[in-house]
Amino acid sequence: MKSLYLLIFMACGSVGPRCTLAQDFVIRGATVHTASTQGTLKNTDVVVRGGVIVAIGSGAGSSTAVIDAGGKDLTPGLFGGLTDIGLEEIALEAQTVDSSLNFKSPEWDQQWRPELDVTLAYNPRSFVVPITRIEGVTWTVLAPNSADSIIGGQGSAVVLDGRYDAALDGSRSLFVQMGAAGAKVAGGSRAAEYMLLEQAIHEARAQKPIAQGALLHTAGREALARYLMGGRVVFQVDRAADILGVVAFALRNGMKPVILGGGEAWLVAKDLAKADVPVILNPLDDLPIDFDHLASTLENAARLQRAGVRIAFSSGNTPQARLARQLAGNAVAHGLPWESALAAITSTPASIFGLSATRGRIAVGQSADLVLWSGDPLEVTTLADRVWIAGVPVEMKSRQTELRDRYVEKLKVHQAR
Amino acid sequence: MNMVSRAVLLFSMILAVVVVWAAEPFPSTYQVPVSSPVLIQGATVLTGTGERLDAADILIANGRIQAIGKGLSAPADALIIDAKTKWVTPGLIDIHSHLGVYASPGVQGLDDGNEATAPVTSNVWAEHSIWPQDPGFETALEGGVTTMQILPGSANLIGGRSVVVKNVQGATYQSMKFPGAAYGLKMACGENPKRVYGEKHQAPSTRMGNVAGYRQAYADAQDYQQQWDKYNRELADYNKKKAEPAEGAAKNSKKKDSSADKEPTLPSPPKRDLKLETLAEVMSGKIRVHMHCYRSDEMATMLDVADEFGFKIVAFHHAVEAYKIADRLAEKGVCAAMWADWWGFKMEAYDGVQENIPMVDFPEHSCAIVHSDSADGIQRLNQEAAKAMAHGQRVGLTVLPQRAIRWLTSNPAKSLGLEDRIGTLEPGKGADVVIWSSNPFSVYALAEEVFIDGALKFDRAHPPVPPRSDFLLGEDIAQAPL
């Protein structure tokens, strides 16, 4: 097996970071967490051909390569949340950060650029990419940050196998900052967020550009107009009243809203379930960090799930996107069913971002983005043993494992003396 | 005997210290609460000394651990807790917290963590910024944290004094203040001070500027100490001379010594300088240095600076590159307080590895500590340790639970100089005890009961209603529309 991997990596090395040599293989005897209605399947085989899952069952597949899972847990590749992976190397070093647009325009001269798509800045050769994927996180959604307007711009889901054309079709979304953080760049009142949005929507729908005091340029009008016809718009908003306001506003204007943050979402869970509006939250947010989070609780995820709201998890922490499992595990410790927690970092975010057909579950026809774990996948003492993206085994190395290896050997030798 | 009297006893061994102790401003008003004895039965116990005891009992009374062993009998009035499926550890200690000084909500009115107006502010004391109503204290308690060191931020080279507090509810910080705990001094390496002051076009703007800043501050403190030493000598002389004339007059009544005639002049003391006073107390060993430092090379530089001025750095905090000099830190007896896996948010955190803690823990006489620096992380210190254990295991650095718990208990206690009072479950120690639902090194483990000095401060089965913090009072009323 090892030599086979080696052969593949040598071949991949010669064609650059995108390794197209998907292997045909079968993972035999795994505990398969499908993240679908099929639930967990014990002692099950998963057959991969051409980078895609082609069969799931017992004794399935007659491939040349067999990986004996020995009953270990297999999950879909995990969702790292909304991050700036590949857009940000070091947050505090501005020259390495491409995740936000800031013309530093004065508040009275708002420059709204919904046409910005940060996906164009994605660097698949960022050190963060291997550091993240060897922990079983195989995809993320690039989310622009708003700087001098409440419109951050657009972003897409990307797959973290190092390919240059990493964006996943159909996942592009628009990102809008609401609540207290939005108010800061909307003249100081959250009411003005709606005022400005109304104005921008008016401009987008108008036949001709507005001559003076416009928020949008031509390309921006076109971009925003697309989202007014059922486009996915991710609103970062936490206060219960604001969540309801945003949902009503978005639906009234033809957008498909997604709530990001949702610190107080559990207070309006029934309304969110009724409108089928999903919430992307950090289940660890339990402190009243500001006056938009006074009702924050570790039970947010469990309460939303019980009310029938679709939930996904995101810490928004780029270097720590790899900790998606810890978010999920803690949600379980605070009342969320285990299967729902796994879904919140696999199938639910895939469905929120329009990727259900290809990602997020272990099912026939899905991309073979798979992780074999050393134990319970949501447990903090568990590590990823093996990761595949589109059927290609991930070399379990990163700049961090190289650093570790350099120093751990020295330490052992020195201490042995 | 309560904590205060024990502390006094401890210090009374050195008379001079007792004099200072009595004169300390802002004394603790904390009292060990009166509580009935508790017998925890049949638990898996991680003592914090490196031992694991299975099916063991722990008897708590009068605020202290009385006994640990099998088949302990309970006093008549004892609360008996069946802990057969539970794990028990000492209360967790976080030596790097900004709770209260960077409180929730993070509004400007509560932004009290950094006196970022000068690079050396050894005159400020974190305790004067603590808002006891920070709801983060309560969530930390729910994570099993019983003792915290609250530090100023890291904007400055020398940020000010830290304070050790017990995680108890109080309207004043004095009622939380750990009686008899030494003060710490927060110092900071690297990017933060040079960025904060560099952006203001003042020193320091470079790492060499940082080092010049520490050295000048301590050089000034040496000079200051010399002035006081001189004054104290003169004062002693004066007192001696004041006492002499009566004697002298009797002995040498015939001799007229002109100098003896002269009335001795009372020396005037140097002006107190609160900045230099603190630094002088660092050099005398009374105040313990806790230093924010990421890079291994900067830690090495600071060990040299400390040697130059004769003080000791008890712990490097954050210490993202401590694994590169794990041997040296162990040899010097310096602790490293670390996160499990934070990295990459700034250049000096670029070389973070997930094996940092087990690598620092590996050498003999090491002192690895898990810290939080975060109102979120402090709620899950046990999970931070668990992650580090898993990554250590993968590279052959196996750390068993009975050893790993030391990262959260006895090692931080040692760095605070409180190892004789907290951090282990041994007879005589303060009864800071956590009962966990399962092995604490798991994402599913929850602290079920948390005791501080023998008093039950958190009980998951009966969570406090209303909330502990005044700030959140009435929140439930607002949440429920009529």
| 3-class secondary structure, A140 | strand
Place of tokens 């995820």: A301
Those of residues 28-67 in B touching chain A at CB distance below 8 A are none
d(CA A295, CA A298): 10
| Cross-strand bridge partners of residue A68 | A28
CB A296 within 8 A of CB A264: yes
Which chain B residues are closer than 8 Å to A318 by Cβ? 344
Q: What is the DSSP letter of B399?
A: -
Joined together, the tokens standing for residue B48 give 């914090």
User: With an 8 Å Cβ cutoff, are B341 and A320 in contact?
Assistant: yes
- Distance of alpha carbon B204 from alpha carbon B388, whole angstroms: 35
> Do residues A389 and A20 make contact, with C-beta atoms less than 8 angstroms apart?
no
Both tokens assigned to A50? 């051409």
Is B154:B192 a contact under the CB 8 Å cutoff? yes
Using a 10 angstrom Cβ sphere, with 0-12 exposed, 13-18 middle and 19 or more buried, the burial of residue A416 is exposed
Which of B342, B344, B395 is nearest residue A408 as measured by Cβ atoms? B395
Cβ contacts from A onto B, under 8 A: 131
Q: Read off the pLDDT of residues B56-111 as tens digits, 9 standing for 90 and up.
A: 999 999 999 999 999 999 999 999 999 999 999 999 999 999 999 999 999 999 99
pLDDT of B14 = 36
Helices and strands (DSSP H and E) totals, chain B: 14, 16
How high is the pLDDT of residue B62?
Answer: 97
| CATH code of the region A1-77+360-417 | 2.30.40.10
Alpha helices in B143-251 (DSSP H): 191-198, 207-251
Interface check for B342 against chain A (CB to CB < 8 A): the answer is yes
Strands A100-101 and A73-76: unpaired
Find the length of chain A. Answer: 417
* Mean of per-residue pLDDT scores for chain B: 93
| Cross-sheet strand order for the sheet of B335-338 | B92-97, B145-150, B158-166, B184-188, B288-293, B313-318, B335-338, B368-370
Q: Quick one: tokens of B140?
A: 């930390």
List the single residue in A286, A329, A400 with the smallest CB-CB distance to B443.
Answer: A329
3-class secondary-structure state, position B125: strand
**Which candidate from A320, A408, A415 shows the least CB-CB separation from B363?**
A415
For helices B296-309 and B207-251, the axis angle rounded to 10 degrees is 20
Q: Considering only A56-70, B1-15, B260-274, which range has the smallest mean pLDDT?
A: B1-15
Question: What number of other Cβ atoms are within 10 A of residue A67's Cβ?
Answer: 23
d(CA B460, nearest CA chain A) in Å? 12
- Residue A393, φ and ψ in degrees, nearest 5: -70, 135
d(CA A134, CA A371): 9
CB B86 within 8 A of CB B125: no
3-state secondary structure of B441: coil
- B205-208's contacts with Cβ under 8 Å and 24+ in sequence apart are B207/B298
Shortest CA gap A143–chain B (Å) = 17
Question: Which residue of chain B is at minimal alpha-carbon distance from A180?
Answer: B107
Yes or no, beta carbons of A381 and B397 under 8 Å apart:
no
State how far the alpha carbon of A409 is from the alpha carbons of A395, A413, B221, B222, in Å. Answer: 20, 6, 42, 42
- Are A319 and B444 an interchain contact pair (Cβ–Cβ within 8 Å)? no
Residue with tokens 């991309």: A367
Distance from the Cα of A406 to chain B's closest Cα (Å) equals 9
The residue of chain B with its CA nearest to that of A268 is: B479
- Best of B329, B438, B443 to disrupt the A interface by mutation (most A CBs within 10 Å)? B443
User: Which two three-digit tokens encode residue B254?
Assistant: 């015939």
Q: Minimal Cα–Cα distance from B301 to chain A, Å? A: 20
What is the Cα–Cα distance from A265 to A238, expressed in whole angstroms? Answer: 7
B427 in reach of chain A (CB within 8 A): no
Cβ–Cβ below 8 Å for A408 and B106: no
Instruction: Tell me, yes or no, if B136 comes closer than 8 A to chain A by beta carbon.
Output: yes
Q: Which residues of chain A neighbour B478 with C-beta distances below 8 Å?
A: 294
Which residue ranges make up each domain of chain A?
1-77+360-417, 78-359
Confidence of residue B381 (pLDDT cuts 50, 70, 90): very high
Give the distance from residue A47's alpha carbon to the nearest chain B alpha carbon, in angstroms.
Answer: 28
Question: A136-174 burial string, b = 16+ CB within 10 Å, else e?
Answer: bbbbbbbbbbbbbbbbbbbbbbbbbbbbeebbbeebbbb
Instruction: Specify the length of chain B in residues.
Output: 482
Q: Do A383 and B136 touch (CB under 8 A)?
A: no
Question: Are B444 and A415 within 8 A, CB to CB?
Answer: no
**pLDDT at B260 exceeding the cut of 80:** no
Chain-chain contact of B478 with A411 (C-beta, under 8 angstroms): no
The fold of the A78-359 domain, in CATH, is TIM Barrel (3.20.20)
Contact B383 A326 (CB under 8 A): yes
pLDDT in tens, chain A (417 residues): 334 444 444 334 433 444 456 679 999 999 999 999 999 999 999 999 999 999 999 877 665 799 999 999 999 999 999 999 999 999 999 999 999 999 888 877 888 999 999 999 999 999 999 999 999 999 999 999 988 899 999 999 999 999 999 999 999 999 999 999 999 999 999 999 999 999 999 999 998 888 788 999 999 999 999 999 999 999 999 999 999 999 999 999 999 999 999 999 999 999 999 999 999 999 999 999 999 999 999 999 999 999 999 999 999 999 999 999 999 999 999 999 999 999 999 999 999 999 999 999 999 999 999 999 999 999 999 999 999 999 999 999 999 999 999 999 999 988 876
Asked if A59 and A46 touch (Cβ cutoff 8 Å), the reply is no
Q: Which of B462, B475, B434, B408 is nearest to B58 (CA)?
A: B434
Which residue of chain A comes nearest to B192, CA vs CA? A92
* Both tokens assigned to A393: 């085994």
Distance CA B189, CA B65 (A): 39
* B421 contacts chain A (CB < 8 A): no
Please tell me the pTM assigned to this model: 0.94
- Minimal Cα–Cα distance from B126 to chain A, Å? 21
Dist CA A209 CA A206 (whole Å): 7
Q: Using CB atoms, pick whichever of A287, A329, A383 lies closest to residue B390.
A: A383
Quickly list DSSP for A67-116: EE-TT-EEEEPEEEEEE-TTTBS-TT-GGGB-SEE-----GGG--B-TT-
pLDDT of A417 reads 67
Structure-block tokens of residue A146: 């708003």
What is the DSSP-derived secondary structure letter of residue B395? T
pLDDT at B251: 54
Contacts of B141 in chain A (CB under 8 A): none
Which of the pair, B478 or A219, is modelled with greater confidence?
Answer: A219
Q: How far is CA B219 from CA B117, B156, B209, B303, in A?
A: 21, 18, 15, 16
Instruction: Report how far apart the first and last C-alpha atoms of chain A are (Å, whole number).
Output: 36
Q: CB distance from B207 to chain A under 8 Å?
A: no
Q: Give Rg (Cα) of chain A.
A: 22
Q: How far apart are CA A392 and CA B97, in angstroms?
A: 43
Amino acid at B156: N
CB contact under 8 A, B106 and A128: no
**Cβ within 8 Å of residue A133, ≥6 positions away:** A160, A161, A387, A389, A394
Angle at B360 between CA B299 and CA B399, to 5 degrees: 165
H helix or E strand, kind and range, residue A57 = strand A52-57
Q: How far apart (Å, rounded) are the C-alpha atoms in residues B131 and B103?
A: 7
Cα–Cα distance list, A62 to A24, A59, A283, B173 (Å) = 10, 9, 42, 69
| Nearest-neighbour CA in chain A from B136: distance (Å) | 7
Number of Cβ atoms within 10 Å of the Cβ of B459:
13
Note the pLDDT of residue A414.
84
Q: Are B43 and B83 in contact (CB under 8 A)?
A: yes
What is the C-alpha separation between B155 and B152, in angstroms, rounded? 9
Instruction: Report the C-alpha dihedral over residues A20, A21, A26, A31, rounded to 10 degrees.
Output: -40
| Cα–Cα distance, B326 to B355 (Å, whole number) | 12
Residue contact B383–A411, C-beta within 8 A: no
Are the beta carbons of B139 and A286 separated by less than 8 Å? yes
Residue A81 tokens, joined: 């949340």
Q: Taking CB atoms and an 8 Å limit, are A333 and B362 in contact across chains? A: no
| Pairing, β A256-261 against β B433-436 | unpaired
For residue B38, the cross-strand partners are: B60, B79
Instruction: Report the percentage of chain B scoring pLDDT > 90.
Output: 87
A400–B389: do the CB atoms touch at under 8 Å? Answer: no
Helix (H, G, I), strand (E, B) or coil at A234: strand
pLDDT(B49) > 70: yes
Q: Looking at beta carbons, which residues of chain A come within 8 Å of B471?
A: 288
Among the listed residues B134, B161, B139, B133, the one whose alpha carbon sits nearest the alpha carbon of residue B149:
B161
- Which domains are seen in chain B, by residue range? 3-207+275-470 (3.20.20.140)
Tens of pLDDT along B174-227? 999 999 999 999 999 999 999 999 999 999 999 999 999 999 999 999 999 999
Cα B311–chain centre separation: 17
3-class DSSP state for residue A350? Answer: helix
Indicate whether this complex's ipTM tops 0.90. yes
Instruction: Give the position of tokens 């750095």.
Output: B313
